[in-house]
Amino acid sequence: MRLACCQHAVDATPDENVECALAAIAEAADAGADLVCLPEIFNVGYFAFDAYEQEAESLAGPTLARVADAAREHDVGVLAGSIVEDLAASARDGFDTPSEAGLANTSVFFDRAGERRAVYRKHHLFGYESKEAELLVPGESLGLTEFEGFTVGMTTCYDLRFPELYRELVDAGATLILVPSAWPYPRVDHWRLLPRARAVENQLFVATCNGSGRFGETELCGRSAVYDPWGEVLAETDEGPAVVTADVDPERVSEVREEFPALGDRR
């Protein structure tokens, strides 16, 4: 399976950001991708906190509908990296939500037919030099779905610092974890270290999909990457807009776990 992380710019207006995301999906599909991942809050921009309430949408809203259409048009699975979800609007539209009010940082997985297969609301909300923890409601359930022989798990950005969430996902059968993010400078070393550690300790593939762009004095560090179950880098890029692709095989997870059965030694 060919996996693509679309590190597109997310520092313009929401409409322009969505157009960039749709163009990146098309570019990834043209490169042979089977599964495409978008960055965290790819439409509004993570650091555009003052716009969260105005731009929040239901899971049945227009942004996700356009991504679903793109998945169907290009015959690819897509993790719509995340949007700001209006939980009350989603509840009115018949979706299960962790609260009947408030906002959430929500990713949605669409299959090749554009059907919604999984919803993940970010568990760990960032408070350091960020308003996310003030503005949003944390998620409560795991994000998991089956795709092309993988059990795909979902986490978001700051979740990388909490290995217990990844243990829950591996215990639930995850073999590939996608991590939409809006990771800024200067913590580049952590951005490289943490997903590699999550891949090694859980013996699975981890793909990080960061955004690109600047919000005032804050700049996203880009550097999206795909790590294999040994923690080896299969593909990566720098801070600019790019589509990062890597070929991943679910059998590789089984091979590594059989060769070095560390997960079986847990106590």
**In degrees, to the nearest 5, what angle opens at C-alpha 64 toward C-alphas 213 and 86?**
90
In 56-145, where does DSSP find H-type helix?
62-74, 87-92, 132-135
**Per the structure block, which two tokens stand in for 156?**
């978001």
Catalytic annotation present for 219: no
Choice among 27, 40, 55, 132 that is catalytic: 40
User: 107-156: per-residue pLDDT in tens?
Assistant: 999 999 999 999 999 999 998 878 999 999 999 999 999 999 999 999 99
Q: Active site includes 131?
A: no
- Give the active site residue among 6, 20, 37, 157: 157
Fold of 2-265: Nitrilase/N-carbamoyl-D-aminoacid amidohydrolase (3.60.110)
- Pick from 262, 252, 241, 224: which is nearest to 4 by CA? 224
Among candidate residues 27, 37, 57, 122, the one labeled active-site is 122
Sheet with 116-121, side-by-side order of all strands:
116-121, 103-110, 77-86, 35-37, 2-7, 242-247
Contact 59, 85 (CB under 8 A): yes
pTM assigned to the model: 0.97
Active site residue 209: no
Q: pLDDT tens for residues 232-267?
A: 999 999 999 999 999 999 999 999 999 999 999 999
